[in-house]
Chains A and B, each alone.
Chain A
């Protein structure tokens, strides 16, 4: 191997090492995992397991994968899984809110129809009884 080639290989190795160091996180994504954990709790408290079961399960699965990746010191993957878990939890929360709002609208619509029917059928029943 000529000296010129050795120099080139050395630069390539340095460049690859620099790229690897620059592209992967150097520390565990604790903030991302914490945010994902809090979002998961918020979704659970908003009854997401009942109203958005699939999204809530995906959030839990991605959170587990994030924790596993962190244990393996694959911080890049851990950050990605944590971000996906966060997005899943927020979607589950939004769908739980949506389901509750829809149930409220249906209940109020039904109640209002009953109340209106009551008013229409008995506008002043006693006055009719009076002579």
Chain B
């Protein structure tokens, strides 16, 4: 009888010890996960992100704390997953904020580069416009020079033509004068010859017989 009572007491004690171990193990898992969650929730950067995922992790921890023995493994797994999800979501949100900042910076830089390129294009256009203007002015100057040269050439040609005409005229005049002089000389010679003959024979100078007057025209015809 005493042995049976002792055995029952020992069995009850071992059950109590096992239960205490179980509770201790349960507390260890719960405490480990709670520490992980608290580290995340109190993180200065991540703690303010992913509130929904944080709440789910908190709820999973609460379930784990109250879980029966049969459900403990399940809730340990769930709590671990929920805490990992909360951390991943919080990190993704924090990176999303960083990405937004970087994207704004990227937009600003692209705008600055676009402005610079536009400014360079405008400057290049202005440079080409100036070059075109210089080329046009040079062409106009060359055209005016050519025009002036052409005009000078025409004047020279005209002057040469005039000089040639004057020379021709002078030559003709000289020829006429020479001819007149020759005729005058011949006339003088003839007169001299005639005057020599007159004094010798007093013959009247031989004159050209006058042409007979033309016959009187017939009665004027009626003009039409």
Residues of A participating in the B interface, judged by any CB pair closer than 8 Å: 80, 83-84, 87-88, 90-91, 94-95, 97-98, 101-102, 104-105, 108-109, 111-112, 115-116, 118-119, 122-127, 130
Contacts and interface: CB of A to CB of B under 8 A. Distances in A.
Interface of B: 53, 71, 74, 77-78, 81-82, 84-85, 88-89, 91-92, 95-96, 98-99, 102-103, 105-106, 109-110, 112-113, 116, 119-120, 123-124, 127
B112 A112 contact: no
A95 B53 CA distance: 13
A125 B81 contact: no
B interface: dominant SS: helix
B123 A91 contact: no
Nearest to B127: A130
B35 to A, nearest CB: 19
A80 B92 contact: no
B120 A126 contact: yes
Contacts of A126: 119-120, 123-124, 127
A55 B91 CA distance: 17
24 contacts: A80-B74, A84-B78, A87-B81, A91-B84, A94-B88, A94-B89, A95-B88, A97-B92, A98-B88, A98-B91, A102-B95, A104-B95, A108-B106, A109-B102, A111-B106, A112-B105, A115-B109, A116-B109, A124-B119, A124-B120, A126-B123, A127-B120, A127-B123, A130-B123
